[in-house]
Amino acid sequence: MQGLQGRSEGTGSKQLIYFSMEFLLGRLMRTNLINLGVYDLVASGLQDMGRNLDAILEQEPDAGLGNGGLGRLAACFMDSIASLGLPGHGNTLRYDYGFFKQVIRNDKQEEVPDLWLVNGYVWETKK
């Protein structure tokens, strides 16, 4: 938790808090397995159980938190913060339906809600 002076509770170190209207993170499960160094282990274990890791990873929806350059830039900043080992968090407003999806029906464009939260989102922390 961030204290009033911008310091982490218990450590006294400062935190970097990045605010952005968008975070274009993409799918995170594969990236997290790779970064933890367990991707091959998990893939092998699932294969032993008759399951395919790629099929499981395809079930993860893209987070409806961004769709352009601002979101990609924010995600890159967050990657840099993590790679440098700096204490930090990204904050944004999160709407239940994220951005709208565009579909074509009867030769007309329609906007429909992006139901990316239908099964919840394990990577976020509500504040």
Are the C-beta atoms of residues 99 and 64 closer than 8 Å to each other? yes
Q: Rounded to an integer, what distance in angstroms lies between the CA atom of residue 123 and that of residue 40? A: 22
How far CA 32 is from CA of 5, 18, 50, 117, 123, in Å, comes to: 31, 20, 22, 20, 11
- Residues of the chain with pLDDT > 90, as a percent, come to 36
Q: What is the CA radius of gyration of the chain?
A: 18
Q: Tell me the domain boundaries of the chain.
A: 1-23+63-117, 27-61
With a cut of 90, say whether residue 105 has pLDDT above it.
Answer: yes
Mean pLDDT lowest for which of 18-32, 38-52, 88-102?
A: 88-102
Contacts 24+ apart (CB under 8 A), 104-110: none
- 2-33 pLDDT, tens per residue? 444 555 566 677 899 999 988 888 888 998 89
> What tens digit of pLDDT does each residue of 54-79 get?
999 998 887 777 777 888 999 999 98
Distances, alpha carbon 62 to alpha carbons 43, 56, 90, in Å: 21, 14, 17
What pLDDT, on the 0 to 100 scale, is given for residue 38?
Answer: 97
- pTM of the model as a whole: 0.61
CA 99 from chain centre, in angstroms, equals 15
